[in-house]
Structure 1
Amino acid sequence: MAWNEPGKPGQDPWGNPGNQGGSNKPPKKSDKDPDIDALLKKAQSLFGGAGDKFNNGGFGGIGGGIIIGVIIVIWLLSGIYIVDPAERGVVTRFGAFVEETKAGPHWHIPYPIETVRVVNVDQIRTAEIGYRSDSRNRSGNVPNESLMLTKDENIVDLKIAVQYKIESANQYLFEVSDPDMTLRSVVESALREVVGQNRMDFVLTEGRNEVVSKVQELAQANLNDYRTGLMITSVNLQDAQPPEQVQSAFADVVKAREDRERLINEAEAYANDILPKARGTAARELEEASAYHDRVIAQATGEASRFTSIVTEYQKAPEVTRNRLYIDAVSNVMENSSKVFMGSENSNNLLYLPLDKMLGGQQAVPLKPVQSNSNNSEPAAKTAGGNTSTINPQRTNIRDYLKNRELR
């Protein structure tokens, strides 16, 4: 049935009651229907009026412009942000990376066009492999991570702590979904690879530092390939234990090695202490021997020269040289004696000379005669104290000869 086809009175083409006779009169307006014109006028009044007053640039139009300008200014100021020295700001535009900003104040197009994520790149983070130090894991051990298989098909229990920080904030946020978990997996894989290439004794004893160094190098290379934006600062081997079944025997082996190292260090310390002393003593004895050698040679040379000169003088005057040699010999013998007795072949009287008093600078002591069994008499010499002593003329000549020799 067509729309303009006449139908039943009071019905539209679909049979609904309507205008009688199909008239075009508008339907009656219900009280519940909203008045659209009234709503529009009310909305215009909020922005300073409606109609000609708004179109003519009246007071209401100026107020609306001010409000809109303030809103725009506030929106633009919301794009200001400050990055601390230890942080980096990552700016994204509609979710795509734009730039990475460093420390200081910056501005970006406010939300929702651009957003900023601030990441702390100087914070040192820690990843624990083979154990957990937090309260969530009471046992502190993770068997599936700590047990490693060595080259000689032994099982070792290793626990390491990895310290790292963010090197590239852009890669850390957008390249990998979970960089921290990726680092744990990469370090565990590198540790298993390095341990599998070495024997158990090497891993548990002298090879600890080498294992740690290789793990850090291999793990960092893999992290760079994955573009995680992380940099490993240190890898610390917390604990390394053999299998539980042989742990006691291995502890004895380790203790023996430690004792060997301790004894070697003590021996080296003793050697470092005694060798310099021995070298110094040897050098001193060599110097003393060299000095003695030079002294003996010089003394022998001097004695030879002296003997040669004496031979020359003896050839010139044998008697005088002989007497002089005799007197020098007697002087050398008696120079350390404090008492001297002098006599002659013709008399048994002895003359006592107190050389200790005479050499001390004291007053001369009178000569004391020594009694003898001979009846021969000798002239007496009178001393300052009035005492007398017998003096042999021949003995007096010897004393004068000695005095004359000293004067010469």
Structure 2
Amino acid sequence: MAWNEPGKDDKDPWKNKGGKNQGPPDLDDLLKDLGNKVGGIFGGKSSGGGSGKSFSSVGIGLALIVAVLVYAFSGFYTIKEAEQGIVLRFGQYSGTVEPGLRWKWTFIDRIIPVDIQTTRDLPAAGFMLTRDENVVRVEMQIQYRVVDPRNYVFSVTNADDSLSQSLDSALRYVVGHAKMDDILTSGREQVRQDVWAELNDIIEPYNLGLIVVDVNFKDARPPEEVKDAFDDAIAAQEDEVRFLREAEAYAKGIEPRARGRVKRMEQEAIAYREQTVLDAQGEVAKFEKLLPEYQAAPEVTRQRLYLATMEKVYSNTSKVMVDVDGGNNMMYLPLDKIMQQQNQTNRIIPNASQSVNTSGNTVNSAPSSSGRSDRFNNGRN
């Protein structure tokens, strides 16, 4: 017989809960029991009586303690060494905090860390029109730092973007008032200084809380279509500068040498003057010594001076003067010509001999270049 046959309720597993063949519990009863237990924990009536009320009080206390601990620990935060923290209380600026471990009111305070020590880079580049109506591409880079965190965050919407736009404006203004040759060659430093000054003037009214540390002029070049021509022009200008430097170096090297020669000539002139003066003084002293001797014996002194003079004159000649006794003729022997002709004859005819007749009044010498013997008619004075 089937268990669900009419009149056999004791066989029904859903209704026979206390018998041996107990089936699954009723879902409504299960949910009801669970609701009673939860209500007892939070202070509701429970089938357990007084023990349920004490259990609910302990649970509420523990929950409050845990909530307080979580809230307290959630307020701790750290500001790095290179940063400063901006405190916002209910969205309004409340102050700044220094680096270290800090605590804030969670859900009340908000902390915005700002790096104030790191040096940041900002590039700028583009094609620009110069004063002489040429197009040039300029690349520049600036370095800056944050000095006022409050102004950096609240003065403008984005301080970095505002600085970038200001740099582009300053760069175009300066390039537009400069010539292309200056930008490409000798005026790069002046352009860099002008951009720096113009950028500071632009950002000053906005109080960005930034300071520009340095401005670097990275590159400046003409468009590719005319780059070769400008390269030649730049090379010519560099050659001009090099030649000027070489000329200056040559001038600096030649001038000291010229001054040295002038000084040497001056010293030689002074020495010559001193020598001439001393020689004159020596001659005067010699004359002063000789004058008393001459006054004492004029003829002897005159003869001695004559012989000394003649000795001095004839000591530098190769000719020998011969005074023939008993006549008015005086001859000389050209010893240099005689020795030269003898040497030539010895080279041509080794055994040739020559004779010189000195017994008469006339001396025959070797043929000279004139082909005759020279005679001097000299009267003895």
Q: Report the TM-score, using the length of structure 1 for normalisation.
A: 0.56
The 5-angstrom pairing of residues 216-365 of structure 1 reads: 216-318=196-298
Residue 177 of structure 1 aligns to a residue whose secondary structure is: coil
Alignment partners' CA distance in 2, 1:294 and 1:107: 96
1:44 to 51, 57, 69: 57
RMSD: 3.9
Match of 2:354 in 1: none
Amino acid at match of 2:92: A
Post-superposition CA distance 1:208-267 (Å, at most 9, x none)? 221121111111222222222222222222222224443332222222111111211222
Amino acid at match of 1:96: Q
CA contact (8 A) 1:88 1:169 kept: no
Alignment partners' CA distance in 2, 1:105 and 1:316: 122
**Offset at residue 39 of structure 1 (A):** 0.9
Alignment partners' CA distance in 1, 2:103 and 2:95: 10
CA contact (8 A) 1:91 1:114 kept: no
Amino acid at match of 2:124: I
Match of 2:329 in 1: none
CA contact (8 A) 1:90 1:97 kept: no
Match of 1:138 in 2: none
Amino acid at match of 1:118: P
* Sequence identity (%): 32
Post-superposition CA distance 1:34-74 (Å, at most 9, x none)? 675641334412367xxxxxxxxxxxxxx999989977875
Alignment partners' CA distance in 1, 2:74 and 2:141: 46
Unmatched segments (≥5 aa) in structure 1 = 1-29, 49-62, 131-145, 336-344, 346-372, 374-408
Please say if 1:122 is aligned against 2:117: yes
| Alpha-carbon spacing, 1:120–1:280, altered in 2? closer, same or farther (3 Å) | farther
Please say if 1:203 is aligned against 2:183: yes
Residue 152 of structure 1 aligns to a residue whose secondary structure is: coil
The 5-angstrom pairing of residues 16-55 of structure 1 reads: 31=32, 38-40=41-43, 41=53, 42-46=55-59
Alignment partners' CA distance in 2, 1:117 and 1:313: 122
Post-superposition CA distance 1:191-210 (Å, at most 9, x none)? 11112222333333322221
**Offset at residue 189 of structure 1 (A):** 0.7
Alignment partners' CA distance in 1, 2:151 and 2:188: 32
Alignment partners' CA distance in 2, 1:106 and 1:180: 28
Amino acid at match of 1:97: Y
| Alpha-carbon spacing, 1:157–1:316, altered in 2? closer, same or farther (3 Å) | same
| Alpha-carbon spacing, 1:99–1:188, altered in 2? closer, same or farther (3 Å) | same
Residue 147 of structure 1 aligns to a residue whose secondary structure is: strand
CA contact (8 A) 1:129 1:188 kept: yes
Amino acid at match of 2:118: Q
| Alpha-carbon spacing, 1:208–1:174, altered in 2? closer, same or farther (3 Å) | same
CA contact (8 A) 2:124 2:164 kept: yes
**Offset at residue 110 of structure 1 (A):** 4.6
CA contact (8 A) 2:124 2:140 kept: yes
Alignment partners' CA distance in 2, 1:302 and 1:99: 104
| Alpha-carbon spacing, 1:100–1:312, altered in 2? closer, same or farther (3 Å) | farther
**Offset at residue 159 of structure 1 (A):** 1.7
The 5-angstrom pairing of residues 158-177 of structure 1 reads: 158-177=138-157
| Alpha-carbon spacing, 1:82–1:198, altered in 2? closer, same or farther (3 Å) | closer
Alignment partners' CA distance in 2, 1:295 and 1:100: 93
| Alpha-carbon spacing, 1:289–1:100, altered in 2? closer, same or farther (3 Å) | farther
Residue 151 of structure 1 aligns to a residue whose secondary structure is: coil
Alignment partners' CA distance in 1, 2:143 and 2:35: 70
The 5-angstrom pairing of residues 88-167 of structure 1 reads: 88-94=83-89, 95-101=91-97, 105=100, 107=102, 109-130=104-125, 146-167=126-147
320-329 or 233-242: bigger deviation:
320-329
Alignment size in residue pairs: 276
Amino acid at match of 1:39: F
CA contact (8 A) 1:108 1:114 kept: no
Alignment partners' CA distance in 1, 2:117 and 2:299: 109
Amino acid at match of 1:200: M
Residue 42 of structure 2 aligns to a residue whose secondary structure is: helix
| Alpha-carbon spacing, 1:173–1:66, altered in 2? closer, same or farther (3 Å) | same
CA contact (8 A) 2:87 2:97 kept: no
Unmatched segments (≥5 aa) in structure 2 = 1-30, 44-52, 316-324, 326-357, 359-381
Q: Report the TM-score, using the length of structure 2 for normalisation.
A: 0.60
Post-superposition CA distance 1:247-295 (Å, at most 9, x none)? 3322222221111112112222222222222222222222222222222
CA contact (8 A) 2:87 2:109 kept: yes
Alignment partners' CA distance in 2, 1:324 and 1:260: 77
Alignment partners' CA distance in 2, 1:266 and 1:285: 29
**Offset at residue 185 of structure 1 (A):** 0.9
Post-superposition CA distance 1:275-332 (Å, at most 9, x none)? 2222222222222222222222222223223322322443245467568768987998
CA contact (8 A) 2:40 2:56 kept: no
Alignment partners' CA distance in 1, 2:70 and 2:124: 53
